[in-house]
Amino acid sequence: MTDMIPAWVNGTLTPVEKLEVHQRGLKHKAVSVFVMDGERVLIQQRALTKYHTPGLWANTCCTHPYWAEASADCALRRLDQELGITGLFPSHRDRVEYRADVGNGLTEHEVVDIFVAEATPTLNVTPNPDEVADTRWVDLYDLAAEVARWPDRFTPWLRIYLDKHKDRIFGALVRA
């Protein structure tokens, strides 16, 4: 059931195929990870072959857990599968819900467990080209300014995280 993700259908959590979830705009579980080095965050540009939001910049890792997979396990699995990152210990920061149009008649309506992991710029990052076109480290505040200036270069969820949930995700890093 690896292509099935947890989604709510008629108020009941049930496994549903991932593309169908997005076509129907069903509320579903998701995981987002931010790998940080102090105030710098590792972001990824989504592969051009992704079925939604190809080529847009996103947080370090964003995905959906398999049916019955714990969010923390999913975070570790996808850091490795998408970016070749191992040996980090992401901590759960919060759970947020959002709904966003992601183009081509698809909708993300996610209940997201958000994790943050501390790393150093020497972290070994080996992007999987089927998932990630590029990566870069960027200061969190420079990223917020980029998103404000060029929002169409970034995924809807990253824009939402930075606009509505920055203090909940980054806590003490948020400048007054």
- Mean pLDDT on 4-27: 94
pLDDT in tens, 71-107: 999 999 999 999 999 999 999 999 999 999 998 899 9
**Which positions ≥6 away from 87 have C-beta within 8 Å?**
none
SS3 159: helix
In the chain, % of residues over pLDDT 90: 88
* Distance set, CA 110 to CA 63, 120, 124, 137, 159 (Å): 10, 30, 29, 26, 14
pTM comes to 0.93
In this structure, which topology does domain 4-167 adopt according to CATH?
Answer: Nucleoside Triphosphate Pyrophosphohydrolase (3.90.79)
Residue labelled with tokens 């169409």: 152
List b or e across 18-34, with b for residues whose CB sees 16 or more CB atoms inside 10 angstroms.
beebbeeebbbbbbbbb
Q: Which helix (H) or strand (E) holds 139?
A: strand 132-139
Distance between CA 73 and CA 164 in Å, rounded?
Answer: 26
What is the pLDDT at residue 121? 74
What is the pLDDT at residue 125? 97
Contact status, residue 77 vs residue 60, Cβ threshold 8 Å? no
Distance between CA 122 and CA 107 in Å, rounded?
Answer: 36
62 has catalytic annotation:
yes
Please check the confidence at residue 2 and state whether its pLDDT lies above 80.
no
74 has catalytic annotation:
no
Token pair belonging to 163: 């606009």
Domain boundaries, the chain: 4-167
Per annotation, catalytic residue among 61, 74, 108, 110: 110
Distance between CA 53 and CA 49 in Å, rounded?
Answer: 9
Per annotation, catalytic residue among 62, 74, 82, 108: 62
